[in-house]
Amino acid sequence: MELEGFQALIARTYLEKDGRRGKWGTFGWMVEEMGELSRAMRSGDDARMREEFSDVLAWLASLANLCGIELAEAADKYAAGCPKCGPIPCACRE
């Protein structure tokens, strides 16, 4: 699935509910999902990690919808390589 299509699907599915929750409420849910992703990563369980990555991506898309941000356009920042140093792979010092 393309990023644009995914974001549109999330909007059709959740935008009304997310709108009632608001930007900050939706952000809070996304942060909670990040915590669940962190725990899944520590567990090393691939299926659990995949599920939590999916949830984080969905909440990010929901938040972007509420903020009027197209994720595909935001991702363009990285299309030509590292936005700081330019190359692929990144050559920035840590």
| Domains delineated in the chain | 3-78 (1.10.287.1080)
pLDDT digits (tens, 9 = 90+) for 30-44: 999 999 999 999 999
Nearest-angstrom CA–CA distance, 39 and 48: 9
Q: Quick check: 92 and 84 in contact, CB under 8 A?
A: yes
Residue 57 has pLDDT above 90, yes or no: yes
Higher pLDDT, 94 or 45: 45
Single out the residue of 35, 31, 20 nearest to residue 60, CA to CA: 31
Rounded CA-CA distance 94/82 in Å is 13
Stretch 49-74: mean pLDDT: 98
The Cα–Cα gap between 16 and 65 comes to 11
pLDDT category, 94, cuts 50, 70, 90?
Answer: confident
Flag whether pLDDT at 76 surpasses 90.
yes
Map residue 16 onto helix, strand or coil. Answer: helix
- Quote the pLDDT of residue 49: 98
Does the pTM surpass 0.85? The reply is: yes
Q: Judge contact between 82 and 91, C-beta under 8 A.
A: yes
